[in-house]
A and B are shown apart, each in its own frame.
Chain A
Amino acid sequence: MAAHRCGLSVVCILIFSSLAHPSSCDTLEKANDNTATKRRISEVNTDGSVAGEDMNERQWQSTDVEVNRSDGTKNGETFAPAKDQFQEELVIRPLHSGDIYASFQFRTLWDTDFLQEGQKKVSHYRLFPKSLGQVLSKFSVQELHISFTQGFWRTMQWGQPFIPSPPGAELWVWFHDTVSDVDGNWKELTNVLSGIFCASLNFIDMTNTVQPSASFKPLGLGNATDHRFLRYATLPREIVCTENLTPWKKLLPCGSKAGLAVLMKSEKLFHSSFHSQAVHIRPICQDEQCTSKAWELRQTLNVVFDHYTSGQGKKEWSLFKMFSRTLTEACPLASSSKVYVDITDNPEGELFELSPATPLLSQAVVLGDRRTYSVYDLTRAETFGQLRSFNLLLRWKGDSGDMLRPLLHAERYVAGFGLQTGEIHTVIYNNHPYRAFPVLLMDSVPWYLQLYIHTLTVTSKSRDNKPSYIHYQPAKDRHRPHLLEMLIQLPPHSMTEVTVQFERALLKWTEYTPDPNHGFYVGSSVVSALVPSMVAMSTNFTQDQPLFSSFVPVKEESSYFVRVYTEPLLVNLPTPDFSMPYNVICLTCTVVAVGYGSFYNLLTRTFQVDEPSPPLAKRLANFIRRIRGVPLLA
């Protein structure tokens, strides 16, 4: 609906917005980051006019209008063209452990389809960041998912996250099926992204890249199934900090100057138990008929705040306490800007109290569970009250009860000790009381752990559990990692254990990292599954629905897709003592030289009994005798 309104009266809205917030817009534009300024300048240049700041502003709007008109004339008057739009929202969920989970989502839509013939070059950008747009078109990316996570999501205490991600950096990309050199594109793409996000993505190479055959399917349009065009890599060692957050914030249309992004003060975001930021780009339908494609950019940021360390044991929360900021306005460019608070466990307000209260409620089925949310619409002035500032306060009254165990849960560890062999155990729990369901387990193990795949066992309830699908790609030393994908049926209420033994390789001395005694990381394994929904499980789900609609559970709600990441592993490899290479080299060289030399000497020399040489006088006499021809002296 927002799109329609936007499409029909873009001019009015833009003029209105510039009138309504002239000062904020100005400061916004002035203080905006380099890329935004550059973007604007380039736009201006394409239009052939160079002017001052204000001129730029006007120019920007007018070009926009022109484009609009041309679009409109092209498509005719039958339906309004969908336009670039931007939405922002923040979901706050009080967790059972007492921690607070805050999840930001920013969604930018971009109505272009440059992958189609004839539209290769796109030079017009409005809300969509140009740096990403250019990357998409240059490398023919179909879909791109990148996440940076610091910390580990504690599924057993916190439940499932909205968007899961493994510790460290994760990148998976589907390339368009016209790409001929996928590996080349991938390599360049990782280097470019490394620059864009200030991360060490350039460490992604063929030794940690895999092509999963089943675990990662495209999430957007296009049902590509040929996994030749998929690349997946994780960097479990990547440390996420402010230098990754800043470029991420710069991708937002309002930067961190207005809207929800104001809350993102890095000192607070990194004073938390869990921090994860991600960028997801995928093609989606522009409209219901799906005649043309649009690009969707989702930027998500998930944070879990620890009530204990920051609250000094008091369970009381406010936006200000969490982020040291309050909200004063929505992003002027956003078509919707909302704050949701999960109040499912708190229907009568007996657990916690929210202030200010809101009459707006919303229900949604999230991860197979029907949740109720209080909604605060930031585009409405009354949300901010008289103080013109919105500070959501949450005061706990009672202790929250026990959390339902998450239906799917996985963990992994290395068994054994010593530096020669070991065993990787992956344990997957199905906590559903009566439903069995299949899961896809994907393991990517670096080559220096040499897996003995014949020792692979899968056991559930102490019985052998034969996977119905196994895709195994053995590693090549120094070239590619092991990839193991299995489809395993998890019996209800069970624990399934996957074990495989490995041997630790001895690396060449230049292959060790600068801190070899820290250990080497093995990325998280990925468990993807369609989990039977809690909604389908509950018996009284009919109470607020008409009876005719509820005999057979609705398909969308009967199961939901979940991806669970296990812990990364830290494995010690046999490490030489690097602290005294000079001594060692000198010593071994000396020993080898002396030992070898003398043994060679002893073995090759022939021994003869030596005649003692006669005295000099005798030799002289013999010499004279020889000349004279007289017999020699004995």
Chain B
Amino acid sequence: MGLLSDPNRRKALTNLLTRLNAPICMVCYLAAIVWFMGLAFEPFTLRTYMSENAMGSTMVEERFSSGERALSLAKEFDAHKRKAGGMPVEWLVKAMQARGLEVFTQSFSRKLPFPDENKERYMVRGTNVYGILRAPRAPRTEALVITAPCSPGNSDNQAVGLLLALAQYFRNQIFWAKDIIFLVNEHDLIGMQAWLEGYHHTNITGVKLKNYLMTQFHNWSIQAALSLELSSDVITSLDLILEGLNGQLPNLDLANLFYAFCQKLGVLCTIQGKLQRNDWDTAEGYTHAAQTMMLMVLKQACGRSWGDHGLFLRYHIEAASIRGINGFRHYKMDVATIGRLLEGMVRKLNNLLERLHQSYFFYLLPSLSRFVSIGYYMPAFGLLAVILLLRALDLWVNLGAPALEAVDGVTEAEQPSGPGVLTVLTPVVISHLTGVALYLLPVHLQEMAVEHFPVSETEAVVLTAVAIYTAGLALPHNTQRLLSGEGTEQGWKVLKLTALLYLAVLLGCTALINFSLGFVLAVTLVPITASMTPHMPKALSALAMVLLSPAFTILYCVFIYQELIEAPVSVGEGWMLFLSVISQGILDHALYGSLVYPLLALFIYPCWLMFWNILFWS
């Protein structure tokens, strides 16, 4: 700081920074990209290890053997599900009661803001059934949750069958210290949301709970939850899904626990559907790890819950989904093995004395046995954020230079006293109003749109959103001219300074909560926003700006994601996917309170519009 308090040296430093600003920014950007890609390189990452003492030292002996019973229960469940045309409530209640559980049901109904075309639902009505295994001699303060969805069609029957078989087996054991809740939820996340809201006696998303039976039996603090998805009698591998709502992740110890038991029982386990490879020193090995990590980043960035577990995380309940995959491999496992795996995990969780808190909550996984902690990945984002700050500093120095001369004694009365607040405020306000329109109008105008155009409600919502987004491009760059006449040189500089700092704060906050989202947005937004001036060739830079706008970022993410999961799509299909991603984003926000859509509509897009405004400053 002595450096800054000495005017000469300060001047030298600022000179250096302004002179070398562009090269430094370039270097920072490249360094950020290289750093990020380096995270997937195995020698740079840490090996995962179990931090929680209560789960580490004692290996349990798994004895679950009723795989056949699970399968026959699954068949029975399937038959009753078909007969009932949904959740077979009565059968399930009886089945759970016969296994010595206390059984309760919870009915809920929900009207979606607009029809969900992916899952074909609009008015949702359903029932959750859950049975409680009371731990002997426990004062009803803690619980574990195991869930299986009741999905339409043939899927997830085996999960319910296994759930019931596990319940029967667990009921005969005496070592439980925590109550265990076996939950079968209908309508996947909507049912789960209803259950969690009933459980916590809150109403944050407007699910209608029919009865308050729920309130009678929920005073535990839930320590952990496992969600089970299993659709075939034999499986080849198990996939672990961690990404939850708003990019929240469960404690890394939960993933470690899963990995430890997969190792112990010789079960193939994957993350992001990708097996682990041992050849990190070859190009293929590195690419594989990088792809796995990129998939995790993309999934986390989109902020939706990738399994039924995702909603638990909001309530500070560590949760993960385990999905059975039946691929084309020789080595197959039966349901009993998965049962043993779950038994082992639940018994270890049962040993917990405290909530899972020892290990990391912020991490990226290039493979199941390696992780990147927040300390390692944050510099990549930091390097990007520094660019914005450097550019802001440069502008600040530029703006301050003439003022400094004025202090020197050359009294020039005709020197303009800086740009008015109005010049800056107008574009800021107008951009944000456009953002508010983008946030509110699509859902609220759907009826009007359906009346006037031959489209369905979902299409109406998505197309309105796209239309408002595009209309926003035409709007704000003429605004300041209306109010304050000709835009001055200083005017855009002040606006750009404001916009740069605003973007830096926005991205910084986003990255702290959801690193992936912050990083993905920074990678696309930073280069164009950092270099934008009104003096660049209009057509070319406008094209560049549009191509690097938030909407196109989503489009690129869709293509990259499809490429990474080895299901590449054509441009037309990609466009359709892009539209459905937008509708899902809006739905996720309305149904579960996902924050990505409001963040993009209310903050990132207006911020980008401010730069758009600068480009057309005249």
With a cutoff of 8 Å between Cβ atoms, the chain A residues found around residue B219 in the complex are 411-414, 567, 569
For the complex, what is the distance from the CA of A150 to the CA of B7, rounded to whole Å? 73
CB distance from A394 to the nearest CB of B (A): 19
Is A417 touching B314 in the complex (CB atoms < 8 A)?
yes
Residue A373 lies at the interface, judged by CB distance under 8 Å to chain B: no
- A577-599, CB < 8 A from B: 577, 579, 594, 597-599
Is B136 touching A415 in the complex (CB atoms < 8 A)?
no
Residue B218 lies at the interface, judged by CB distance under 8 Å to chain A: yes
- 11 pairs of residues in contact across A and B, judged by CB atoms under 8 Å: A273-B134, A308-B100, A412-B219, A417-B200, A417-B316, A425-B201, A517-B355, A570-B142, A572-B221, A575-B357, A601-B2
With a cutoff of 8 Å between Cβ atoms, the chain B residues found around residue A352 in the complex are none
Instruction: Kindly list 12 other residue pairs between chains A and B, CB separation below 8 angstroms, not including A272-B137, A412-B219, A418-B316.
Output: A157-B102, A415-B200, A415-B202, A416-B202, A417-B315, A567-B140, A568-B139, A569-B141, A571-B221, A598-B1, A598-B4, A602-B4
Segment at the interface with A among B16-24, B166-174, B295-303, B497-505:
B166-174
Q: Most chain-A Cβ atoms within 10 A of its Cβ — which of B142, B221, B314?
A: B221
For the complex, what is the distance from the CA of A521 to the CA of B4, rounded to whole Å? 53
Residue B513 lies at the interface, judged by CB distance under 8 Å to chain A: no
- A409-432, CB < 8 A from B: 411-418, 423, 425, 427
A308: contacting residue among B7, B102, B171, B215, CB under 8 A: B171
With a cutoff of 8 Å between Cβ atoms, the chain B residues found around residue A272 in the complex are 136-137
Residue A312 lies at the interface, judged by CB distance under 8 Å to chain B: yes
B1: contacting residue among A236, A418, A602, CB under 8 A: A602
Residue A168 lies at the interface, judged by CB distance under 8 Å to chain B: yes
B137: contacting residue among A150, A236, A607, CB under 8 A: A150
Residue B155 lies at the interface, judged by CB distance under 8 Å to chain A: no
For the complex, what is the distance from the CA of A114 to the CA of B202, rounded to whole Å? 57
Residue B120 lies at the interface, judged by CB distance under 8 Å to chain A: no
Instruction: State whether A570 and B141 are in contact (beta carbons under 8 Å apart), knowing that A308-B171, A309-B171, A415-B200 are contacts in the complex.
Output: yes
With a cutoff of 8 Å between Cβ atoms, the chain A residues found around residue B200 in the complex are 415-417
Residue A274 lies at the interface, judged by CB distance under 8 Å to chain B: yes
With a cutoff of 8 Å between Cβ atoms, the chain A residues found around residue B173 in the complex are 309
With a cutoff of 8 Å between Cβ atoms, the chain B residues found around residue A168 in the complex are 139
With a cutoff of 8 Å between Cβ atoms, the chain B residues found around residue A247 in the complex are none
A427: contacting residue among B1, B216, B220, B221, CB under 8 A: B216
Instruction: Mark interface residues in B1-17 (1 if CB within 8 Å of A CB, else 0).
Output: 11011010000000000
With a cutoff of 8 Å between Cβ atoms, the chain A residues found around residue B141 in the complex are 519, 521, 567-570
Number of interface residues of B (CB under 8 A): 37
For the complex, what is the distance from the CA of A119 to the CA of B398, rounded to whole Å? 98
Residue A167 lies at the interface, judged by CB distance under 8 Å to chain B: yes
With a cutoff of 8 Å between Cβ atoms, the chain B residues found around residue A515 in the complex are 353-354
B221: contacting residue among A306, A519, A602, CB under 8 A: A519
Chain B residues within 8 Å of A, Cβ to Cβ = 1-2, 4-5, 7, 100, 102, 134, 136-142, 171-174, 200-202, 215-221, 314-316, 353-355, 357-358
Instruction: State whether A415 and B355 are in contact (beta carbons under 8 Å apart), knowing that A151-B137, A308-B172 are contacts in the complex.
Output: no
Residue A152 lies at the interface, judged by CB distance under 8 Å to chain B: yes
Number of interface residues of A (CB under 8 A): 52
For the complex, what is the distance from the CA of A312 to the CA of B168, rounded to whole Å? 11
With a cutoff of 8 Å between Cβ atoms, the chain A residues found around residue B7 in the complex are 607
With a cutoff of 8 Å between Cβ atoms, the chain B residues found around residue A312 in the complex are 172
With a cutoff of 8 Å between Cβ atoms, the chain A residues found around residue B172 in the complex are 308-309, 312
For the complex, what is the distance from the CA of A306 to the CA of B173, rounded to whole Å? 11
With a cutoff of 8 Å between Cβ atoms, the chain A residues found around residue B357 in the complex are 517, 575, 577, 579
Residue A40 lies at the interface, judged by CB distance under 8 Å to chain B: no
CB distance from B169 to the nearest CB of A (A): 12
Instruction: State whether A417 and B137 are in contact (beta carbons under 8 Å apart), knowing that A601-B2, A602-B1 are contacts in the complex.
Output: no
- A99-158, CB < 8 A from B: 150-152, 154, 157
Chain A residues within 8 Å of B, Cβ to Cβ = 150-152, 154, 157, 167-168, 236, 270-275, 306, 308-309, 312, 411-418, 423, 425, 427, 515-519, 521, 567-572, 575, 577, 579, 594, 597-599, 601-602, 605, 607
With a cutoff of 8 Å between Cβ atoms, the chain A residues found around residue B354 in the complex are 515-518
B215: contacting residue among A427, A519, A569, A601, CB under 8 A: A427
For the complex, what is the distance from the CA of A569 to the CA of B221, rounded to whole Å? 9
Q: Name the prevailing secondary structure of the B interface residues.
A: loop
For the complex, what is the distance from the CA of A309 to the CA of B1, rounded to whole Å? 71
Is B201 touching A273 in the complex (CB atoms < 8 A)?
no
For the complex, what is the distance from the CA of A306 to the CA of B354, rounded to whole Å? 27
For the complex, what is the distance from the CA of A599 to the CA of B141, rounded to whole Å? 50
CB distance from A501 to the nearest CB of B (A): 12
With a cutoff of 8 Å between Cβ atoms, the chain A residues found around residue B171 in the complex are 308-309
For the complex, what is the distance from the CA of A312 to the CA of B169, rounded to whole Å? 11
Is A152 touching B140 in the complex (CB atoms < 8 A)?
yes
Is A270 touching B1 in the complex (CB atoms < 8 A)?
no
Is B316 touching A567 in the complex (CB atoms < 8 A)?
no
With a cutoff of 8 Å between Cβ atoms, the chain B residues found around residue A309 in the complex are 136, 171-174
Is A152 touching B174 in the complex (CB atoms < 8 A)?
no
CB distance from A583 to the nearest CB of B (A): 11
Q: Which residue of A has the minimal Cβ distance to B358?
A: A579
CB distance from B102 to the nearest CB of A (A): 8
B201: contacting residue among A270, A275, A416, CB under 8 A: A416
Is A411 touching B136 in the complex (CB atoms < 8 A)?
no
For the complex, what is the distance from the CA of A411 to the CA of B214, rounded to whole Å? 12
Instruction: State whether A151 and B221 are in contact (beta carbons under 8 Å apart), knowing that A309-B171, A416-B200, A601-B5 are contacts in the complex.
Output: no
CB distance from B271 to the nearest CB of A (A): 25
With a cutoff of 8 Å between Cβ atoms, the chain A residues found around residue B100 in the complex are 308
CB distance from A41 to the nearest CB of B (A): 38
Is A273 touching B316 in the complex (CB atoms < 8 A)?
no
Q: Which residue of B has the minimal Cβ distance to A569?
A: B219
With a cutoff of 8 Å between Cβ atoms, the chain B residues found around residue A521 in the complex are 141
Q: Most chain-A Cβ atoms within 10 A of its Cβ — which of B1, B137, B220?
A: B137
Q: Which residue of B has the minimal Cβ distance to A98?
A: B100
With a cutoff of 8 Å between Cβ atoms, the chain B residues found around residue A423 in the complex are 201
With a cutoff of 8 Å between Cβ atoms, the chain A residues found around residue B221 in the complex are 519, 570-572
For the complex, what is the distance from the CA of A418 to the CA of B202, rounded to whole Å? 11
Q: Most chain-A Cβ atoms within 10 A of its Cβ — which of B173, B201, B218?
A: B201
In the A-B complex, list the 8 residue pairs whose CB atoms are closest, starting with the nearest. Answer: A598-B1, A415-B201, A167-B139, A413-B219, A517-B354, A151-B137, A570-B141, A150-B137
Q: Which residue of B has the minimal Cβ distance to A568?
A: B139
Is B216 touching A411 in the complex (CB atoms < 8 A)?
yes
For the complex, what is the distance from the CA of A423 to the CA of B202, rounded to whole Å? 10
Is B4 touching A413 in the complex (CB atoms < 8 A)?
no
For the complex, what is the distance from the CA of A493 to the CA of B58, rounded to whole Å? 50
Instruction: State whether A236 and B139 are in contact (beta carbons under 8 Å apart), knowing that A601-B5, A602-B1 are contacts in the complex.
Output: yes
With a cutoff of 8 Å between Cβ atoms, the chain A residues found around residue B316 in the complex are 417-418, 572
For the complex, what is the distance from the CA of A234 to the CA of B139, rounded to whole Å? 14
With a cutoff of 8 Å between Cβ atoms, the chain A residues found around residue B140 in the complex are 152, 167, 567
For the complex, what is the distance from the CA of A274 to the CA of B142, rounded to whole Å? 16
With a cutoff of 8 Å between Cβ atoms, the chain B residues found around residue A517 in the complex are 354-355, 357
For the complex, what is the distance from the CA of A597 to the CA of B4, rounded to whole Å? 13
Q: Which residue of A has the minimal Cβ distance to B356?
A: A517
With a cutoff of 8 Å between Cβ atoms, the chain B residues found around residue A150 in the complex are 137
Q: Most chain-A Cβ atoms within 10 A of its Cβ — which of B5, B7, B136, B171?
A: B136
Q: Which residue of A has the minimal Cβ distance to B8?
A: A610
For the complex, what is the distance from the CA of A415 to the CA of B316, rounded to whole Å? 14
For the complex, what is the distance from the CA of A417 to the CA of B200, rounded to whole Å? 7
Is B314 touching A597 in the complex (CB atoms < 8 A)?
no
CB distance from B478 to the nearest CB of A (A): 43
For the complex, what is the distance from the CA of A272 to the CA of B138, rounded to whole Å? 11
Q: Most chain-B Cβ atoms within 10 A of its Cβ — which of A275, A518, A594?
A: A518
Is A518 touching B355 in the complex (CB atoms < 8 A)?
yes
CB distance from A301 to the nearest CB of B (A): 14
CB distance from B474 to the nearest CB of A (A): 43
With a cutoff of 8 Å between Cβ atoms, the chain B residues found around residue A412 in the complex are 219
CB distance from B131 to the nearest CB of A (A): 13
With a cutoff of 8 Å between Cβ atoms, the chain B residues found around residue A599 in the complex are 1
CB distance from B576 to the nearest CB of A (A): 38
With a cutoff of 8 Å between Cβ atoms, the chain B residues found around residue A414 in the complex are 219
For the complex, what is the distance from the CA of A151 to the CA of B200, rounded to whole Å? 23
